[in-house]
A and B are shown apart, each in its own frame.
Chain A
Amino acid sequence: MFIETRVRERIESGKGITTLLFGTPMDAKPGQFVMLWIPGVDEIPMSLSHIGQRAGITVKEVGEATRALSNLRPGDLVGLRGPYGNGWDLSAKRVLAVGGGVGMAPIITAVEAIGDRNRVDVAIGARNIGEIIFEERARAASDDVRITTDDGSYGLKGTVVSLADEMMKAKPYDMVLGCGPEIMNRFLLKACNENNVPCQLSLERLMKCGAGLCGSCVIDGLRVCADGPVFTGDQVSRLTEFGKCKRDDAGLRVKL
Protein backbone atom coordinates (compact mmCIF):
# COMPACT_ATOMS: atom_id res chain seq x y z
CA MET A 1 0.00 0.00 0.00
CA PHE A 2 1.04 3.57 -0.67
CA ILE A 3 1.38 5.93 2.27
CA GLU A 4 2.58 9.49 2.58
CA THR A 5 4.71 10.35 5.59
CA ARG A 6 7.20 12.95 6.70
CA VAL A 7 10.81 12.64 7.82
CA ARG A 8 10.78 12.66 11.62
CA GLU A 9 14.48 12.58 12.31
CA ARG A 10 17.68 12.84 10.26
CA ILE A 11 20.88 11.27 11.57
CA GLU A 12 24.33 11.40 10.00
CA SER A 13 25.34 7.76 10.33
CA GLY A 14 28.66 8.10 8.53
CA LYS A 15 30.50 10.14 5.95
CA GLY A 16 27.98 10.63 3.15
CA ILE A 17 25.67 8.13 4.87
CA THR A 18 22.37 9.40 6.24
CA THR A 19 19.62 7.76 8.26
CA LEU A 20 16.06 9.05 7.91
CA LEU A 21 13.41 7.98 10.40
CA PHE A 22 9.79 8.17 9.21
CA GLY A 23 6.83 9.78 10.93
CA THR A 24 4.93 6.49 10.54
CA PRO A 25 5.76 3.19 12.27
CA MET A 26 6.27 0.22 9.97
CA ASP A 27 6.02 -3.47 10.80
CA ALA A 28 8.41 -5.43 8.64
CA LYS A 29 10.68 -8.45 8.72
CA PRO A 30 14.42 -7.76 8.91
CA GLY A 31 15.75 -7.74 5.35
CA GLN A 32 12.59 -6.33 3.75
CA PHE A 33 12.62 -3.06 1.83
CA VAL A 34 10.34 -0.18 0.86
CA MET A 35 9.88 1.68 -2.40
CA LEU A 36 10.60 5.24 -1.32
CA TRP A 37 9.24 8.16 -3.36
CA ILE A 38 10.94 11.53 -3.27
CA PRO A 39 8.27 13.71 -4.92
CA GLY A 40 9.55 15.29 -8.11
CA VAL A 41 12.80 13.28 -8.09
CA ASP A 42 12.50 9.49 -8.19
CA GLU A 43 11.27 6.40 -6.40
CA ILE A 44 13.93 3.89 -5.30
CA PRO A 45 14.12 0.66 -3.29
CA MET A 46 15.61 1.10 0.19
CA SER A 47 16.28 -1.59 2.78
CA LEU A 48 14.82 -0.76 6.16
CA SER A 49 17.61 -0.06 8.67
CA HIS A 50 15.09 0.57 11.43
CA ILE A 51 11.84 -1.36 11.94
CA GLY A 52 8.76 -0.86 14.10
CA GLN A 53 7.93 2.36 15.95
CA ARG A 54 11.15 4.06 14.80
CA ALA A 55 11.12 2.83 11.20
CA GLY A 56 13.59 4.26 8.74
CA ILE A 57 16.22 3.80 6.07
CA THR A 58 19.93 4.51 5.69
CA VAL A 59 21.21 5.90 2.43
CA LYS A 60 24.63 6.49 0.91
CA GLU A 61 24.99 9.21 -1.67
CA VAL A 62 25.82 7.61 -5.01
CA GLY A 63 23.61 9.43 -7.53
CA GLU A 64 20.85 11.94 -8.06
CA ALA A 65 18.10 10.13 -6.16
CA THR A 66 20.29 9.16 -3.19
CA ARG A 67 21.63 12.73 -3.02
CA ALA A 68 18.11 14.16 -2.93
CA LEU A 69 17.20 11.59 -0.29
CA SER A 70 20.29 12.42 1.80
CA ASN A 71 19.36 16.11 1.69
CA LEU A 72 15.85 15.63 3.09
CA ARG A 73 15.19 17.36 6.40
CA PRO A 74 12.71 16.67 9.23
CA GLY A 75 9.25 17.62 8.02
CA ASP A 76 9.98 16.78 4.36
CA LEU A 77 7.48 14.55 2.57
CA VAL A 78 8.16 11.05 1.23
CA GLY A 79 5.90 8.33 -0.19
CA LEU A 80 6.30 4.71 0.88
CA ARG A 81 5.19 1.43 -0.68
CA GLY A 82 5.79 -1.88 1.01
CA PRO A 83 7.36 -3.43 2.93
CA TYR A 84 8.28 -5.75 0.08
CA GLY A 85 10.47 -8.83 -0.26
CA ASN A 86 11.03 -11.94 1.81
CA GLY A 87 13.48 -10.93 4.55
CA TRP A 88 16.00 -13.13 6.35
CA ASP A 89 15.39 -16.58 7.78
CA LEU A 90 16.72 -16.15 11.33
CA SER A 91 16.04 -19.65 12.63
CA ALA A 92 19.69 -20.85 12.66
CA LYS A 93 21.39 -21.45 16.03
CA ARG A 94 24.72 -19.66 15.55
CA VAL A 95 24.80 -16.81 13.07
CA LEU A 96 27.59 -14.72 11.58
CA ALA A 97 26.24 -11.47 10.12
CA VAL A 98 28.45 -9.78 7.54
CA GLY A 99 27.80 -6.23 6.31
CA GLY A 100 29.77 -4.27 3.73
CA GLY A 101 29.32 -0.48 3.81
CA VAL A 102 25.71 0.59 3.67
CA GLY A 103 24.88 -3.12 3.28
CA MET A 104 24.83 -3.03 7.08
CA ALA A 105 21.27 -1.59 6.87
CA PRO A 106 19.41 -4.90 6.49
CA ILE A 107 22.10 -6.74 8.49
CA ILE A 108 21.69 -4.71 11.67
CA THR A 109 17.93 -5.30 11.84
CA ALA A 110 18.62 -9.04 11.58
CA VAL A 111 21.24 -8.88 14.35
CA GLU A 112 18.82 -7.03 16.63
CA ALA A 113 15.93 -9.36 15.80
CA ILE A 114 17.96 -12.43 16.80
CA GLY A 115 17.87 -10.90 20.28
CA ASP A 116 20.55 -13.11 21.85
CA ARG A 117 24.09 -11.74 22.24
CA ASN A 118 25.54 -15.25 22.20
CA ARG A 119 23.74 -16.42 19.07
CA VAL A 120 25.07 -13.82 16.65
CA ASP A 121 28.49 -12.39 15.77
CA VAL A 122 28.99 -9.43 13.46
CA ALA A 123 31.65 -8.55 10.89
CA ILE A 124 31.44 -4.97 9.63
CA GLY A 125 33.54 -3.79 6.71
CA ALA A 126 33.86 -0.51 4.83
CA ARG A 127 36.32 1.44 2.72
CA ASN A 128 37.35 3.66 5.64
CA ILE A 129 36.44 4.71 9.18
CA GLY A 130 33.85 7.23 7.95
CA GLU A 131 31.79 4.51 6.28
CA ILE A 132 31.61 2.13 9.25
CA ILE A 133 28.02 2.32 10.45
CA PHE A 134 25.90 0.77 13.22
CA GLU A 135 28.89 -0.40 15.29
CA GLU A 136 27.19 0.68 18.53
CA ARG A 137 23.94 -1.05 17.65
CA ALA A 138 25.90 -4.20 16.78
CA ARG A 139 27.83 -4.13 20.09
CA ALA A 140 24.54 -3.71 21.97
CA ALA A 141 23.21 -6.88 20.32
CA SER A 142 26.28 -9.12 20.03
CA ASP A 143 29.29 -10.16 22.13
CA ASP A 144 31.62 -10.49 19.15
CA VAL A 145 31.70 -7.54 16.76
CA ARG A 146 34.74 -7.09 14.53
CA ILE A 147 35.60 -4.32 12.09
CA THR A 148 37.70 -4.07 8.94
CA THR A 149 38.50 -1.13 6.66
CA ASP A 150 40.12 -1.28 3.23
CA ASP A 151 42.60 1.46 4.20
CA GLY A 152 43.19 0.35 7.80
CA SER A 153 41.85 3.64 9.21
CA TYR A 154 39.79 1.65 11.74
CA GLY A 155 39.76 -1.96 12.93
CA LEU A 156 41.71 -4.50 10.93
CA LYS A 157 43.09 -3.56 7.54
CA GLY A 158 41.60 -5.79 4.86
CA THR A 159 38.32 -6.99 3.48
CA VAL A 160 35.33 -8.06 5.50
CA VAL A 161 35.28 -11.37 3.57
CA SER A 162 38.74 -12.36 4.79
CA LEU A 163 37.63 -11.43 8.31
CA ALA A 164 34.48 -13.54 7.93
CA ASP A 165 36.61 -16.41 6.58
CA GLU A 166 38.85 -16.26 9.67
CA MET A 167 35.84 -16.17 11.99
CA MET A 168 34.31 -19.22 10.24
CA LYS A 169 37.58 -21.10 10.68
CA ALA A 170 37.81 -20.17 14.38
CA LYS A 171 34.18 -20.54 15.50
CA PRO A 172 31.27 -22.80 14.56
CA TYR A 173 28.40 -21.12 12.72
CA ASP A 174 25.17 -22.59 11.31
CA MET A 175 24.41 -19.65 9.04
CA VAL A 176 26.05 -16.61 7.50
CA LEU A 177 24.00 -13.55 6.53
CA GLY A 178 25.63 -11.24 4.01
CA CYS A 179 24.83 -7.92 2.39
CA GLY A 180 27.19 -5.66 0.51
CA PRO A 181 28.45 -4.90 -2.97
CA GLU A 182 28.05 -7.82 -5.40
CA ILE A 183 31.79 -8.47 -5.45
CA MET A 184 31.72 -8.87 -1.66
CA ASN A 185 28.69 -11.15 -1.84
CA ARG A 186 30.44 -13.25 -4.47
CA PHE A 187 33.58 -13.80 -2.42
CA LEU A 188 31.56 -14.29 0.76
CA LEU A 189 29.61 -17.08 -0.95
CA LYS A 190 32.90 -18.68 -1.98
CA ALA A 191 34.26 -18.45 1.58
CA CYS A 192 31.05 -19.94 3.01
CA ASN A 193 31.19 -22.82 0.54
CA GLU A 194 34.82 -23.50 1.45
CA ASN A 195 33.99 -23.49 5.15
CA ASN A 196 30.82 -25.54 4.65
CA VAL A 197 28.58 -22.93 6.26
CA PRO A 198 25.22 -22.24 4.59
CA CYS A 199 24.50 -18.61 3.86
CA GLN A 200 21.85 -16.12 2.84
CA LEU A 201 22.74 -13.13 0.71
CA SER A 202 20.73 -9.97 0.13
CA LEU A 203 21.09 -8.97 -3.54
CA GLU A 204 20.46 -5.85 -5.53
CA ARG A 205 19.31 -5.09 -9.09
CA LEU A 206 17.72 -2.19 -10.95
CA MET A 207 14.17 -2.15 -9.66
CA LYS A 208 11.11 -0.49 -11.14
CA CYS A 209 7.78 -1.78 -9.85
CA GLY A 210 9.09 -3.46 -6.68
CA ALA A 211 5.96 -5.61 -6.56
CA GLY A 212 6.93 -8.70 -8.56
CA LEU A 213 5.34 -7.63 -11.84
CA CYS A 214 7.61 -5.91 -14.31
CA GLY A 215 10.60 -8.26 -14.18
CA SER A 216 13.21 -5.51 -14.40
CA CYS A 217 15.08 -6.79 -11.31
CA VAL A 218 15.40 -10.44 -12.36
CA ILE A 219 18.61 -12.39 -11.95
CA ASP A 220 18.12 -15.40 -14.19
CA GLY A 221 14.43 -16.05 -13.51
CA LEU A 222 14.38 -14.83 -9.91
CA ARG A 223 12.87 -11.46 -9.05
CA VAL A 224 14.96 -9.61 -6.46
CA CYS A 225 11.86 -7.70 -5.33
CA ALA A 226 9.46 -10.60 -4.86
CA ASP A 227 11.55 -13.80 -4.68
CA GLY A 228 14.29 -12.00 -2.73
CA PRO A 229 16.01 -9.74 -1.93
CA VAL A 230 17.40 -12.48 0.34
CA PHE A 231 18.47 -15.67 -1.45
CA THR A 232 20.08 -18.80 -0.05
CA GLY A 233 23.65 -19.60 -0.98
CA ASP A 234 22.33 -22.63 -2.90
CA GLN A 235 20.02 -20.44 -4.97
CA VAL A 236 22.77 -17.93 -5.66
CA SER A 237 25.23 -20.68 -6.64
CA ARG A 238 22.85 -21.75 -9.42
CA LEU A 239 22.45 -18.22 -10.84
CA THR A 240 24.36 -17.75 -14.09
CA GLU A 241 24.12 -13.93 -13.99
CA PHE A 242 25.23 -13.41 -10.37
CA GLY A 243 28.56 -11.60 -10.19
CA LYS A 244 28.68 -11.41 -13.99
CA CYS A 245 25.94 -9.23 -15.42
CA LYS A 246 22.84 -7.21 -14.68
CA ARG A 247 20.00 -5.71 -16.73
CA ASP A 248 19.72 -2.04 -17.64
CA ASP A 249 16.55 0.10 -17.91
CA ALA A 250 15.72 -1.47 -21.26
CA GLY A 251 16.27 -5.03 -19.99
CA LEU A 252 19.53 -5.40 -21.91
CA ARG A 253 22.33 -7.45 -20.34
CA VAL A 254 25.21 -5.34 -19.02
CA LYS A 255 28.51 -6.80 -17.76
CA LEU A 256 29.29 -6.09 -14.10
Chain B
Amino acid sequence: MTTLEVDLAGIRLRNPTILASGVMGETGESLLRVAEAGAGGLVTKSIGLEPRKGYPNPTLVELPDGYINAMGLPGPGIEAFAEEMEIAKRGGVPIIGSLFAALPEDFTTLAGKMEDYGAAAIELNLSCPHARGYGMEVGIDPEAVRSIVASVKGAVRIPIMAKLTPNTHRLLDVARSVEAAGGDAIVAVNTVKAMAISVEARRPILYNGTGGLSGPAIKGVGLRCVYELHEAVKLPIVGVGGIESSRDVLEYMMAGASAVQVGSAVGRRGLQVFREICDGLTEYLATHQLQGLQGIVGVAHVH
Protein backbone atom coordinates (compact mmCIF):
# COMPACT_ATOMS: atom_id res chain seq x y z
CA MET B 1 0.00 0.00 0.00
CA THR B 2 1.49 3.32 -0.99
CA THR B 3 0.90 6.23 1.32
CA LEU B 4 1.59 9.95 1.28
CA GLU B 5 1.66 10.02 5.09
CA VAL B 6 4.66 11.66 6.66
CA ASP B 7 5.91 12.19 10.18
CA LEU B 8 6.90 15.71 11.16
CA ALA B 9 8.49 16.02 14.59
CA GLY B 10 6.14 13.34 15.88
CA ILE B 11 3.00 14.65 14.14
CA ARG B 12 1.36 12.34 11.61
CA LEU B 13 0.30 14.18 8.47
CA ARG B 14 -1.95 12.45 5.92
CA ASN B 15 0.17 14.07 3.21
CA PRO B 16 3.15 16.46 3.23
CA THR B 17 1.26 19.59 2.06
CA ILE B 18 0.65 22.09 4.86
CA LEU B 19 -1.16 25.41 4.46
CA ALA B 20 1.43 28.18 5.02
CA SER B 21 0.84 30.91 7.57
CA GLY B 22 -0.78 34.12 6.39
CA VAL B 23 -3.04 32.47 3.83
CA MET B 24 -6.70 31.85 4.75
CA GLY B 25 -5.63 31.28 8.34
CA GLU B 26 -7.32 34.10 10.23
CA THR B 27 -10.70 32.47 10.80
CA GLY B 28 -11.78 28.98 11.84
CA GLU B 29 -14.13 28.53 8.90
CA SER B 30 -11.48 29.31 6.31
CA LEU B 31 -9.00 26.91 7.95
CA LEU B 32 -11.73 24.29 7.89
CA ARG B 33 -12.23 24.91 4.20
CA VAL B 34 -8.52 24.31 3.47
CA ALA B 35 -8.69 21.08 5.47
CA GLU B 36 -11.60 20.00 3.27
CA ALA B 37 -9.54 20.94 0.21
CA GLY B 38 -7.06 18.23 1.18
CA ALA B 39 -4.18 19.90 3.05
CA GLY B 40 -2.26 17.55 5.35
CA GLY B 41 -1.82 20.26 7.99
CA LEU B 42 -2.77 23.86 8.61
CA VAL B 43 -0.73 26.76 9.95
CA THR B 44 -2.78 29.60 11.41
CA LYS B 45 -2.27 33.26 10.68
CA SER B 46 0.48 34.55 13.03
CA ILE B 47 -1.28 35.49 16.24
CA GLY B 48 -0.02 38.07 18.76
CA LEU B 49 -1.07 39.14 22.22
CA GLU B 50 -3.46 41.89 21.10
CA PRO B 51 -5.77 42.51 18.13
CA ARG B 52 -3.86 44.24 15.35
CA LYS B 53 -5.22 45.92 12.23
CA GLY B 54 -2.19 45.58 9.98
CA TYR B 55 -1.29 48.13 7.34
CA PRO B 56 -3.69 50.06 5.14
CA ASN B 57 -3.86 49.03 1.47
CA PRO B 58 -2.07 48.51 -0.84
CA THR B 59 -0.90 45.42 1.03
CA LEU B 60 -0.35 43.20 -2.02
CA VAL B 61 1.34 43.51 -5.38
CA GLU B 62 0.73 40.80 -7.93
CA LEU B 63 3.66 39.89 -10.19
CA PRO B 64 3.84 37.43 -13.11
CA ASP B 65 5.68 34.91 -10.89
CA GLY B 66 4.54 35.74 -7.38
CA TYR B 67 3.31 38.33 -4.92
CA ILE B 68 4.87 40.99 -2.73
CA ASN B 69 2.85 41.51 0.43
CA ALA B 70 3.05 43.77 3.43
CA MET B 71 -0.07 42.93 5.41
CA GLY B 72 1.60 44.06 8.64
CA LEU B 73 0.55 41.06 10.79
CA PRO B 74 -3.17 41.80 11.16
CA GLY B 75 -4.96 39.43 13.51
CA PRO B 76 -7.58 39.16 16.22
CA GLY B 77 -5.16 38.52 19.10
CA ILE B 78 -4.75 35.34 21.13
CA GLU B 79 -7.89 35.70 23.30
CA ALA B 80 -10.33 35.99 20.41
CA PHE B 81 -8.53 33.24 18.50
CA ALA B 82 -9.87 30.59 20.89
CA GLU B 83 -13.19 30.34 19.05
CA GLU B 84 -11.50 30.21 15.64
CA MET B 85 -9.41 27.23 16.83
CA GLU B 86 -12.56 25.49 18.09
CA ILE B 87 -14.03 25.68 14.59
CA ALA B 88 -10.77 24.87 12.77
CA LYS B 89 -10.25 21.68 14.80
CA ARG B 90 -13.42 20.17 13.34
CA GLY B 91 -11.43 19.52 10.15
CA GLY B 92 -9.56 16.69 11.89
CA VAL B 93 -6.26 17.92 10.45
CA PRO B 94 -3.33 18.93 12.71
CA ILE B 95 -3.26 22.66 13.31
CA ILE B 96 0.03 24.43 13.85
CA GLY B 97 -0.43 27.68 15.75
CA SER B 98 1.77 30.45 14.35
CA LEU B 99 2.80 33.11 16.84
CA PHE B 100 4.55 36.46 16.74
CA ALA B 101 5.94 38.50 19.63
CA ALA B 102 9.03 40.50 20.47
CA LEU B 103 9.99 39.01 23.84
CA PRO B 104 10.56 35.39 24.93
CA GLU B 105 8.00 35.70 27.77
CA ASP B 106 5.32 36.91 25.34
CA PHE B 107 6.04 33.99 23.01
CA THR B 108 5.70 31.70 26.05
CA THR B 109 2.33 33.15 27.03
CA LEU B 110 1.04 32.81 23.47
CA ALA B 111 2.34 29.26 23.11
CA GLY B 112 0.64 28.17 26.33
CA LYS B 113 -2.69 29.46 25.05
CA MET B 114 -2.24 27.83 21.64
CA GLU B 115 -1.50 24.52 23.34
CA ASP B 116 -4.65 24.91 25.45
CA TYR B 117 -6.66 25.62 22.29
CA GLY B 118 -5.57 22.26 20.89
CA ALA B 119 -2.76 23.17 18.50
CA ALA B 120 -0.68 20.13 17.45
CA ALA B 121 2.47 22.26 17.31
CA ILE B 122 3.73 25.83 17.55
CA GLU B 123 5.32 27.72 14.68
CA LEU B 124 7.37 30.70 15.84
CA ASN B 125 7.26 33.52 13.32
CA LEU B 126 10.88 34.66 13.48
CA SER B 127 10.85 35.86 9.92
CA CYS B 128 8.10 38.28 8.82
CA PRO B 129 10.02 40.95 6.87
CA HIS B 130 7.53 43.82 7.18
CA ALA B 131 6.42 44.33 10.80
CA ARG B 132 8.56 46.63 12.90
CA GLY B 133 9.92 45.00 16.05
CA TYR B 134 8.71 41.50 15.15
CA GLY B 135 9.51 38.59 12.88
CA MET B 136 12.74 38.99 10.98
CA GLU B 137 13.94 41.77 13.28
CA VAL B 138 14.30 39.20 16.08
CA GLY B 139 14.83 36.19 13.81
CA ILE B 140 18.20 37.21 12.34
CA ASP B 141 19.88 37.23 15.76
CA PRO B 142 20.99 33.69 16.76
CA GLU B 143 21.12 34.65 20.46
CA ALA B 144 17.60 36.14 20.49
CA VAL B 145 16.31 33.06 18.66
CA ARG B 146 18.02 30.73 21.12
CA SER B 147 16.38 32.43 24.08
CA ILE B 148 12.91 32.50 22.48
CA VAL B 149 13.01 28.82 21.46
CA ALA B 150 14.40 27.74 24.85
CA SER B 151 11.76 29.54 26.86
CA VAL B 152 8.85 28.35 24.69
CA LYS B 153 10.24 24.80 24.73
CA GLY B 154 10.25 24.88 28.52
CA ALA B 155 6.63 26.00 28.68
CA VAL B 156 4.70 23.63 26.38
CA ARG B 157 4.65 19.92 25.55
CA ILE B 158 3.80 20.21 21.84
CA PRO B 159 6.58 20.45 19.20
CA ILE B 160 8.11 23.86 18.46
CA MET B 161 8.93 24.82 14.88
CA ALA B 162 10.89 27.93 14.02
CA LYS B 163 10.06 29.67 10.73
CA LEU B 164 13.20 31.37 9.49
CA THR B 165 13.99 34.19 7.13
CA PRO B 166 16.21 33.91 4.06
CA ASN B 167 17.05 37.61 4.45
CA THR B 168 20.30 36.99 6.33
CA HIS B 169 23.72 35.46 5.70
CA ARG B 170 23.41 33.83 9.15
CA LEU B 171 20.54 31.45 8.32
CA LEU B 172 22.58 28.41 9.30
CA ASP B 173 23.73 30.00 12.58
CA VAL B 174 20.12 30.82 13.43
CA ALA B 175 19.08 27.24 12.61
CA ARG B 176 21.86 25.84 14.83
CA SER B 177 20.54 28.08 17.64
CA VAL B 178 17.07 26.58 17.20
CA GLU B 179 18.55 23.10 17.42
CA ALA B 180 20.71 23.91 20.43
CA ALA B 181 17.74 25.44 22.26
CA GLY B 182 15.66 22.28 21.84
CA GLY B 183 13.49 23.28 18.90
CA ASP B 184 11.78 20.40 17.08
CA ALA B 185 11.78 21.56 13.45
CA ILE B 186 12.87 24.32 11.10
CA VAL B 187 10.47 25.91 8.63
CA ALA B 188 12.28 27.57 5.72
CA VAL B 189 11.71 30.04 4.20
CA ASN B 190 9.53 33.04 4.91
CA THR B 191 9.21 35.67 2.18
CA VAL B 192 12.18 37.46 0.62
CA LYS B 193 12.25 41.17 1.45
CA ALA B 194 11.28 43.02 -1.72
CA MET B 195 9.72 46.10 -3.28
CA ALA B 196 7.69 47.28 -6.27
CA ILE B 197 7.60 50.81 -7.67
CA SER B 198 4.98 52.54 -9.76
CA VAL B 199 6.87 54.33 -12.52
CA GLU B 200 3.96 56.65 -13.28
CA ALA B 201 3.30 57.50 -9.62
CA ARG B 202 7.04 57.56 -8.90
CA ARG B 203 6.64 55.86 -5.54
CA PRO B 204 6.58 52.40 -3.98
CA ILE B 205 3.23 50.69 -4.47
CA LEU B 206 2.91 49.05 -1.04
CA TYR B 207 1.77 51.29 1.82
CA ASN B 208 4.72 49.96 3.83
CA GLY B 209 7.17 50.53 0.99
CA THR B 210 8.82 47.13 1.33
CA GLY B 211 7.19 43.74 1.66
CA GLY B 212 7.86 40.04 1.28
CA LEU B 213 8.17 38.28 -2.07
CA SER B 214 6.56 34.82 -2.35
CA GLY B 215 5.58 32.39 -5.09
CA PRO B 216 7.58 30.72 -7.88
CA ALA B 217 9.91 33.75 -7.96
CA ILE B 218 11.57 32.52 -4.75
CA LYS B 219 11.53 28.74 -5.25
CA GLY B 220 15.22 28.62 -6.09
CA VAL B 221 16.06 30.54 -2.91
CA GLY B 222 13.91 28.35 -0.67
CA LEU B 223 15.31 25.19 -2.19
CA ARG B 224 18.90 26.31 -1.64
CA CYS B 225 18.13 27.21 1.99
CA VAL B 226 16.56 23.81 2.68
CA TYR B 227 19.50 22.05 1.03
CA GLU B 228 22.03 23.93 3.17
CA LEU B 229 19.95 23.52 6.34
CA HIS B 230 19.79 19.77 5.80
CA GLU B 231 23.57 19.65 6.01
CA ALA B 232 23.78 22.04 8.96
CA VAL B 233 21.20 20.62 11.40
CA LYS B 234 19.62 17.24 12.21
CA LEU B 235 16.15 18.72 12.83
CA PRO B 236 13.36 17.92 10.38
CA ILE B 237 12.81 20.73 7.88
CA VAL B 238 9.57 22.03 6.40
CA GLY B 239 10.21 23.50 2.95
CA VAL B 240 8.35 26.63 1.84
CA GLY B 241 8.67 28.94 -1.12
CA GLY B 242 7.00 28.81 -4.51
CA ILE B 243 5.54 25.31 -4.25
CA GLU B 244 2.73 24.81 -6.79
CA SER B 245 3.14 21.27 -8.10
CA SER B 246 4.15 17.75 -7.03
CA ARG B 247 7.45 18.29 -8.82
CA ASP B 248 8.15 21.32 -6.61
CA VAL B 249 7.41 19.17 -3.53
CA LEU B 250 9.73 16.42 -4.73
CA GLU B 251 12.53 18.95 -5.29
CA TYR B 252 12.12 20.30 -1.75
CA MET B 253 11.98 16.81 -0.25
CA MET B 254 15.06 15.71 -2.16
CA ALA B 255 16.81 18.83 -0.83
CA GLY B 256 15.95 17.67 2.69
CA ALA B 257 12.39 18.69 3.57
CA SER B 258 10.20 16.23 5.50
CA ALA B 259 7.06 18.20 4.62
CA VAL B 260 6.22 21.40 2.76
CA GLN B 261 4.01 24.46 3.06
CA VAL B 262 1.88 25.93 0.29
CA GLY B 263 0.77 29.57 0.40
CA SER B 264 0.80 31.76 -2.70
CA ALA B 265 -0.39 28.87 -4.86
CA VAL B 266 -3.77 29.09 -3.08
CA GLY B 267 -4.22 32.44 -4.82
CA ARG B 268 -2.46 31.58 -8.08
CA ARG B 269 -3.83 28.05 -8.61
CA GLY B 270 -6.84 27.88 -6.29
CA LEU B 271 -7.64 25.63 -3.33
CA GLN B 272 -7.54 22.52 -5.54
CA VAL B 273 -3.75 22.87 -5.55
CA PHE B 274 -3.51 20.54 -2.50
CA ARG B 275 -5.33 17.70 -4.26
CA GLU B 276 -3.43 18.28 -7.50
CA ILE B 277 -0.10 18.06 -5.69
CA CYS B 278 -1.13 14.89 -3.85
CA ASP B 279 -2.35 13.24 -7.05
CA GLY B 280 1.00 14.02 -8.63
CA LEU B 281 2.89 12.59 -5.66
CA THR B 282 0.85 9.38 -5.73
CA GLU B 283 1.60 9.03 -9.42
CA TYR B 284 5.32 9.57 -8.80
CA LEU B 285 5.37 6.86 -6.12
CA ALA B 286 3.62 4.44 -8.46
CA THR B 287 5.92 5.20 -11.40
CA HIS B 288 9.01 4.68 -9.25
CA GLN B 289 7.55 1.74 -7.33
CA LEU B 290 7.93 3.42 -3.95
CA GLN B 291 5.74 2.78 -0.90
CA GLY B 292 6.10 6.24 0.61
CA LEU B 293 7.90 9.54 0.55
CA GLN B 294 10.31 8.98 3.44
CA GLY B 295 12.93 7.41 1.17
CA ILE B 296 13.39 10.52 -0.93
CA VAL B 297 14.07 13.03 1.85
CA GLY B 298 17.54 14.46 1.30
CA VAL B 299 18.50 12.14 -1.58
CA ALA B 300 19.80 15.06 -3.64
CA HIS B 301 22.83 15.34 -1.33
CA VAL B 302 25.01 13.24 -3.58
CA HIS B 303 28.50 14.47 -2.81
Q: A residues bordering B, Cβ < 8 Å?
A: 1-2, 4, 35, 37, 39-40, 42-44, 77, 79, 81, 208-216, 218, 220-223, 226, 247-252
Chain A to chain B contacts (Cβ below 8 Å), 12 pairs? A2-B196, A4-B200, A77-B201, A81-B60, A209-B60, A213-B263, A213-B266, A214-B60, A215-B26, A215-B45, A218-B30, A250-B75
B68-87 CB mask vs A (1 if < 8 Å, else 0) is 01010011110010000000
Query: Is the CB–CB distance between B67 and A215 below 8 Å?
Result: no
Hey, which chain B residues are within 8 Å of A209, CB to CB? 59-60, 69, 71, 267
Q: Which one, B29, B196, B200, B263, contacts A220 given CB within 8 A? A: B29
Q: B residues bordering A, Cβ < 8 Å?
A: 22-27, 29-30, 32-33, 45, 51-54, 56-64, 67, 69, 71, 74-77, 80, 196, 198-201, 203, 205, 263-264, 266-267, 270
Q: Which applies to chain B's interface (DSSP): helix, strand, loop or mixed? A: loop
Q: Which applies to chain A's interface (DSSP): helix, strand, loop or mixed? A: loop
A210 to B64, CA, bound (A): 16
Query: Is the CB–CB distance between A216 and B60 below 8 Å?
Result: no
Query: With A209-B59, A214-B23 given, is the CB distance from A79 to B201 under 8 Å?
Result: yes
Hey, which chain A residues are within 8 Å of B264, CB to CB? 213
A50 to B26, CA, bound (A): 34
Query: Is the CB–CB distance between B24 and A39 below 8 Å?
Result: no
Known: A35-B58, A209-B267; 13 extra A-B contacts, CB below 8 A, are A37-B205, A43-B57, A77-B200, A77-B201, A81-B60, A209-B71, A213-B267, A214-B69, A215-B25, A218-B26, A221-B33, A223-B24, A252-B51
Most buried by A among B198, B199, B264: B198
Query: Is the CB–CB distance between B53 and A249 below 8 Å?
Result: yes
Query: Is the CB–CB distance between A4 and B71 below 8 Å?
Result: no
Hey, which chain A residues are within 8 Å of B63, CB to CB? 2
Hey, which chain B residues are within 8 Å of A213, CB to CB? 22-24, 60, 67, 69, 263-264, 266-267
Query: Is the CB–CB distance between A221 and B32 below 8 Å?
Result: yes
Hey, which chain A residues are within 8 Å of B64, CB to CB? 1
A223 to B69, CA, bound (A): 18
Query: With A4-B199, A39-B201, A250-B75 given, is the CB distance from A215 to B59 under 8 Å?
Result: no
Hey, which chain A residues are within 8 Å of B24, CB to CB? 213-215, 218, 223
Query: Is the CB–CB distance between B59 and A211 below 8 Å?
Result: no
Q: Which one, B58, B74, B198, B203, contacts A249 given CB within 8 A? A: B74
Q: Closest A-chain residue to B199, C-beta based?
A: A4
A210 to B67, CA, bound (A): 12
Query: Is the CB–CB distance between B62 and A211 below 8 Å?
Result: yes
Query: With A216-B74, A221-B32, A250-B74 given, is the CB distance from A44 to B57 under 8 Å?
Result: yes
